Amino acid sequence: MLNKLSVSVLLIFCAFLFFWRLDKVPPGFYIDESLHSYNALSILETGKDEYGKGFPVLFRFFGSYNEPLYVYLTTISIWLFGETIFAARLISALAGVLSTILIYFFMLKVTKNRTTSVIVGLLGAMSPWLLLYSRTGFEVSLAFFLFLLGLFTFYLGTKKPKYIAISFWLFSFSTYAAYTERFVSPLLALLLIFIFKEYLFRKENRKYLLLGTSGALLIQIPHLFLVSTPAFFPKGDLFSLGGFIARYIYYFSPEALFFKGDPDLQRSVPEMAVFPFWLVIPYFVGWYFCFKKRFSNLSKLIIASALISPLPAALTSDPFATHRAMPLLAPLLLVIGIGVNKIFEILKPFLGVFLFLLIFMVSALLLWRSFFVLLPGERSFYWGQQYVELAKLIKQDHQNLYLIDQGRLKIAYATIAYIADIDPLIFQQPQSLEIEENYYSAFPYNPSYSFANVELRSLDWETDIYKNQIIVGDNISISQEQAREHFLKKEFEITDPLGEVLLSGFKTSPKSKCESIKYENTHCKGVK
């Protein structure tokens, strides 16, 4: 009953934290989210992706390739809840809730302390690292859940070997959830086989090892067919060996984890790092006891997963990329959990619970302020809120043609298509048959799109002003001087919560423009 009560309390808290205003926070709808969701919609309605490719193994996203699992699971949420931002983020939020419940059971298995386990589960839910990505339509939260479940079942397998097979299947399956796990999970599985070889190769355990590895290889068959194609290694341009060691070490530094966080404004929460700053104390305590008992099964599992997890992220030029290092969150939460448990063992139970409740309330208030107040107010531009509002305008206006500048602004075609409810069959029609036939060959990416009454490309001031349409851009794309010179009439402005203009729409006036020209202009022929 106590276990059920603990899980219920944790579940209610997590459900509120991960689902409340899910479609509003983070604000907007980032391109990575809309790519997943619009391709899921396209698969659901036509059995093909945006390029007309039927049920791809890897999805081609504006010149790169993403793993398919999140897209296919999102078809279910869209089928249930329609073309909404909530549906696009639902699978990720569910994965976040399940991850926190799994953290609870993992810690309960390790510590046998229900109070500590609930606390660590709550801390996991309140980690801006997990919370942010679990409230977005990104694939990394789903991949993290599968990776964490793989670690948990492997730990169970050190006592009941039948779980070893399940662990390797989960590691293999996680490679279809996110790009990072495609490398981290196999490397970790091989390292664990080496570290636990004496246990795994015992006569009574070999069958489970064989079952696990053979099953993992079978799961990889779709990947093996593509391993020789450019689609399997699409992010090679991000590879950077210079400074690798410094970046690798930085992923474990207190500065990055507890005080600074991800430098990318779109992948971070205002005024917060990836963990609450006060967890730096149990972080050091946890590592101390982890290395003190480095020959225990738990410590070997934590150290091995911590060593492998940051490798792909550290091999890129980003100093601290939380989305690429998502698997690292699993061993770090376990280390912090060990530290919390040891601190509670030192303190009297009443004093420990009192201190935690006090710190928890302060941390919850700070998290609420940063995540639900500052993030929507300060970061709407970075999350593409302007394109959500633009798509809503387009959805209500079928009379006008819209030309959206993509020469210097963020790619937004999938956001427009999803929010404006563009029929996937209409979207697929202009897509090149040549791309479909060379789908996995890294065919050159064309950033220009045309569908329904929408066109996205660089503005051409020599021709675009002579067509009846609404031109959309920011203050640099379309200046006041250009608007006056070309007789553009402002139709709307889209601002952020602070009142800054992010996008403006101008109606062209070809007739007025042509009447102002004193010389013969071929573009004015036929203009009425």
Find tokens 């009192």 and name the residue.
354
The residues, any chain, with a CB within 8 Å of residue 14's CB and separated by 6 or more, are 96, 97, 100, 101, 121, 125
Residue 261 pLDDT? 92
Burial of 103: CB neighbours in 10 Å, binned 0-12, 13-18, 19+: buried
Distances (CA, A) of 24 to 74, 298, 367, 377: 18, 39, 16, 11
Q: What predicted TM-score, i.e. pTM, was given to this entire model?
A: 0.95
Q: Is the dihedral of CA 222, 225, 231, 236 positive or negative?
A: positive
Residue 72 pLDDT? 98
Q: Apex CA 518: angle with CA 512 and CA 524, to 5°? A: 50
Distances (CA, A) of 486 to 415, 458, 469: 29, 17, 13
Residue 236 pLDDT? 63
Residue 244 pLDDT? 94
Whether 346 and 282 have beta carbons less than 8 Å apart is answered as: no
Half-sphere exposure of 341 (CA within 13 A, CB side): 26
Residue 528 pLDDT? 65
Q: Where are the domains of the chain?
A: 2-23+84-220+252-378, 385-524
Distance between CA 326 and CA 70 in Å, rounded? Answer: 16
- Smallest CA-to-CA distance from 474 within 455, 453, 494, 449 is with 494
Walk along the chain (528 residues) and give the pLDDT tens digit of each residue. Answer: 666 787 888 999 999 999 999 999 999 999 999 999 999 999 999 999 999 999 999 999 887 899 999 999 999 999 999 999 999 999 999 999 999 999 999 999 999 988 889 999 999 999 999 999 999 999 999 999 999 999 999 999 999 999 999 999 999 999 999 999 999 999 999 999 999 999 999 999 999 999 999 999 999 999 999 998 988 887 666 677 789 999 999 999 999 999 999 999 999 999 999 999 999 999 999 999 999 998 899 999 999 999 999 999 999 989 999 999 999 999 999 999 999 999 988 887 777 778 888 888 999 999 999 999 999 999 999 999 999 999 999 999 999 999 999 877 778 999 999 999 999 999 987 766 778 778 898 777 888 899 999 999 999 999 999 999 999 999 899 999 999 999 999 999 999 998 999 999 999 999 999 888 877 778 888 776
The residues, any chain, with a CB within 8 Å of residue 512's CB and separated by 6 or more, are 487
Residue 237 pLDDT? 63
Residue 525 pLDDT? 80
In b/e form, how buried is each residue of 37-51, taking b as 16+ CB within 10 angstroms? bbbbbbbbebebbbb
